[in-house]
Chain A
């Protein structure tokens, strides 16, 4: 199914999906490589990825820097990314707007930091440090959270907007993360989408999650990457494609419970269909204006 000529659809590289990806390369426009899993990889594994990068555009995706923090990013972590980027020559790299450690404590995952002016200033300083070392600024991904971040004085779109504007970088908009945060904290996902700094979006992540029970009996949506994206996330993608003119690169993320690749391929087709519907709507809205 055709989308706008400049929109691209890809998938996160996972060793478990390697055979399917290699067999369906003509169906995939771009591969996103989980950078941290290659920082200390054997030379042979990196060489294989470099060879793959000659066949298909690749991007690097980091998870361990903890850029959204008042604490200075650890330089060796950034240098790992710089070395890998130097070898693999990706077209871009990305990291999360999260903190993952503080005061010697490793949280072990991407935690939403206090959404405040001082945290945003710390994030911008860290992004600039990372950009100086790697050579280019990262695209920045919004994270899902089960907890309303304590100490927040800004709402999520204002906090993200202040960072991407000050750092002059792009937003990697994870639509399932956005959907989860909207559902967990009683906001309309479409309103939350509209409030995001959409002019900065170049890349999109799509994934699935599952509902979990809170102690109070309420339910919250956990971003889990083991399921197909729910239809509401495709609706968000369609709205996004209708709202912005910039070409989008959409990456499907899957971290386990891998289905047959035919299921993955069907999801890639569904992404193309949602993009095409959004682009068509944009054309119709433009014609009507």
Chain B
């Protein structure tokens, strides 16, 4: 009997040793393998981002020496990050590892803090966080400044270069039209009794940027403004009281299954979901008629980045015309959209695939102070508004 145990133990040890070898060499931790480029790039045939000659070459060389870069909380299906990561990786021969793709902006900041002295792949180089986490991370000393080539085209940014807008989306309703026959068109529709137990948010407004914006957007349509987010809380309290609100954290699975057939989502996520579902189930993406909000996402480089040159190169890439067009293909509005349109560098087929600009006319974009104030109101007030007071 004991020999059997020995055999078993030895087998297990063998597996351990075998596992250690590949694990030591496999640097890409979560899932992402860098595949050769599959997509054809429509926009400028030039190989890289902005035009400046030698600084960029020096950067490329330095990055190649570093050999890898770590991005965090960037799911492949979010605004087509998959394509962007793959393109960058194969073009510069760099291994891109995607840490914690399911993470939140707050997770990203925590990861920087936890890995302060760590040069390994657990330490993130590149940030992509919600708008308010730009100044928040900056104030905590977590970023290092860098100004990309197209700096002047960017409207929203920190003047010293600690963070800048990458892309923006608007808050929409993602609706499973197989289950919801009468698609809601506006915020007030969400209060209709026919949607009992069907309306949800895709995060927790106490921590998720996307969720906070969902509350704020509702405020805009219900007597609030960019300076006053409280009506948003009141609105959702009404939705909850009507029995229409479902506290489940929504995602494509729950939309499909029917637990959350009406979901508050950024347009690029909703449109991405629609494409992934490909009709099974059919998904409609509705920009609420009366008002909605724009939520920019900002990029930054970690102050303790183990691979700062690759991080800088990466930011050059995604903020360059090519990277920004990739975002557009993922349905997100790139930060330098206006400049790109005026220079005519966006291909017609890409432009036609995105929802019309008219739909976005009701969207407004907040300032940082407004965001800070609204965050405070929403995160502290959510539980009182909607918290389940049960039994």
B is a partner of A: no
Question: Could you list which residues of chain A lie within 8 angstroms of chain B, going by C-beta atoms?
Answer: none
